[in-house]
Amino acid sequence: MDIVDCVFCAIAQGEEEASLVHEDETVLAFMDLQPVTPGHLLVVPRTHAVGLEDLDVRTGARVWEVAHRLGRALRRSGLRCEGVNLFLADGEAAFQEVFHVHLHVFPRFADDGFRVDAEWRVRERSELDATATAVRGGLSQIRDSVFGAGSS
């Protein structure tokens, strides 16, 4: 998706309508058009970033900071909210549909219909250790102001 076709960029620039809940110089939050539950919000950086790989760390931190605050607000909103999910889909395989980073924040309650199906099983320690080694290898390739080289 080209930036000129990005609906979230158009919302950030005031060219498309949105039911805004929060806005500042870095991010904005608005109601999802296809909510999982009433109160489903999207937190979006103003600058275009397709996925996490394109998102600078400071902007990413602000996205999560605002989402945290909104999750707390949902619990106090009077909407049905027995829990809160924060959900970010990064890439088509992860079910990302709009290719501009966005963090879903939505209220949860018993029998709300939202499910994530997966093979939930206990893994062998050797498999977990090998996977941890692979992730640490990825971390060693990241150089940014928050994590730095070799941090864990």
- Check: CB of residue 110 under 8 Å from CB of residue 82: yes
Element housing 107 (H / E)? strand 103-108
Number of domains in the chain: 2
pLDDT for res 151: 42
Can you say how many angstroms the Cα of residue 116 is from the centroid of all Cα atoms in its chain?
16
- 44-82 pLDDT per residue, tens: 999 999 999 999 999 999 999 999 999 999 999 999 999
Average pLDDT, the chain: 92
| C-alpha span between 82 and 79 (Å, rounded) | 9
Whether 97 and 149 map to the same domain: the answer is no
Q: Which residues pair with 22 in a beta bridge?
A: 29
Q: Which domain holds residue 145?
A: 119-152
Categorize the per-residue pLDDT at 4 as very low, low, confident or very high, splitting at 50, 70 and 90: low
Q: Which residues pair with 3 in a beta bridge?
A: none
Query: Residue 114: inside a domain, yes or no?
Result: no
